Amino acid sequence: MSTAEVSDEDFQEILAQTRHFVRSVVLPREQDILAEDKVPDDLREQAAKMGLFGYAIPQEWGGLGLNLAQDVEMAMELGYTSLALRSMFGTNNGIAGQVLVGFGTDEQKAQWLERLATGEVASFALTEPGAGSNPSGLRTKAVRDGADWIINGDKRFITNAPIADLFVVFARSRPADDNGPGIAVFLVPADAPGVQVGVKDAKMGQEGAWTADVNFTDVRVPAAALVGGSEDIGYRAAMTSLARGRVHIAALAVGIAQRALDESVSYAATATQGGKPVGSFQLVQAMLADQQTGVLAGRALVRDTAQRWLSGEDRRIAPSAAKLFCTEMAGRVADLAVQVHGGSGYMREVPVERIYRDVRLLRLYEGTSEIQRLIIGGNLMKGASA
């Protein structure tokens, strides 16, 4: 089992500080984030000072060193406010940063991890127009040229691309064959010649969390940019990082579902209909009960899944099951929150309206719900035939 670098006592202090930051500092400014489509600079600076840009990066490389069981507790707190806050440093601690942590050479870790832990941003450049949840369809290519590599290709929906300092780029270095899928992963500075970031996407929700297309045209990187020094690492690095990230996203979904529930209870207790609190009506109470049940089940599943990951017992089925259940649950809870609020829940200045839009993405990124079902079912059948 993975040994925690941070004691329970110290972690509880970190968690309490994060909870205070989220609920007392960020939450009152959610409308600013929504209106400006940006996390204010002072909030970003405060998050960096707190170590949030590297909370899951090992202490050896400048991070806080939280393990996955601690990570999910953080995610449930961070999910309580605008998801743009967590998105700002989520790729550092998750899918991009964990590629470096798990598969990078010591030289690569020394070059980048401390910079990420102190506020620079890494983006995970995997998704393409024709390859999303299944990276085997990658068309971006990396070709050797002497001691260097030249990368050409287009990436889509890349989180934090407009503010990235580093792109963790997945590219096909050879055709797939019996030796593997032929996918390598490279560390490409955002200011490298030939890297072009498109305009930020106009999205349904998660205002302040920026995504964009990224184009790589004859981008030359040295051999030292090949993660792990091996062409064969890319696919495994992507799958491992995504599986771990799914546990985190599941926890994030629990956090935002808890917020939707709390907003629903508060509204039901104070809003009146016919001179009575709407929460006195049994049909409203039934909706609250369904919300609470989903949140409790999701929280228990996330914590159990994190422990299974740390012990090595299950790093395939459980992460996908947690992401599938918790993100679908968050969607149902958000929908019920709007229903509890009635017409008010459809108004832009009411938190549950934003939550309703924000949670929709959770079922899409880092593997759609359909992909999670295929992973779960496929692994169950593999186990049955083993």
pLDDT(152) > 90 = yes
The confidence score (pLDDT) of residue 3 equals 67
Report how far apart, in Å, the C-alpha atoms of 263 and of each of 80, 86, 238, 337 are. 11, 20, 37, 7
Alpha carbon distance 79, 256 (integer Å): 5
Q: How confident is the model at residue 380 (pLDDT cuts 50, 70, 90)?
A: very high
Q: How many CA atoms lie within 13 A of 23 on its CB side?
A: 14
pTM exceeds cut of 0.85: yes
pLDDT at residue 68 tops 90: yes
Q: Which of 101-115, 121-135, 149-163 has the lowest mean pLDDT?
A: 121-135
Q: Which pLDDT belongs to residue 176?
A: 86
Mean pLDDT score across all residues of the chain: 97
Compute the average pLDDT of residues 200-223. 98
- CA 92, CA 192: separation in Å to the nearest integer? 19
Give pLDDT, residue 132.
76
Please name the amino acid found at residue 30. E
- State yes or no: pLDDT of 2 exceeds 70: no
Percentage of the chain with pLDDT > 90?
95
CB 337 within 8 A of CB 345: yes
The residue-averaged pLDDT of 319-332 equals 99
Helix (H, G, I), strand (E, B) or coil at 119: coil
In angstroms, the Cα distances linking 302 to 320, 324, 377 are: 11, 11, 19
**What value does the mean pLDDT take over residues 296-314?**
99
Look-up: residue for tokens 């500075």?
A: 189
Average pLDDT, integer, range 57-81: 98
Domains with residue ranges and CATH for the chain: 8-117 (1.10.540.10), 122-231 (2.40.110.10), 236-385 (1.20.140.10)
In this predicted structure, the answer to whether residue 66 has a pLDDT above a threshold of 60 is yes
Residues annotated catalytic, as ranges: 366
Sequence-distant (≥ 6) Cβ neighbours of residue 32 within 8 angstroms: 40
- Binning pLDDT at 50, 70 and 90, where does residue 281 land? very high
Confidence of residue 53 (pLDDT cuts 50, 70, 90): very high
Which conformational region is residue 39 in: left (phi greater than 0), alpha (psi within -120 to 50 degrees), or beta?
beta
**Cα–Cα distance between 129 and 23 in angstroms, integer?**
38
Question: What percentage of the chain exceeds 70 in pLDDT?
Answer: 99
DSSP string across 318-360: HHHHHHHHHHHHHHHHHHHHHHHHGGGGGSTTSHHHHHHHHGG
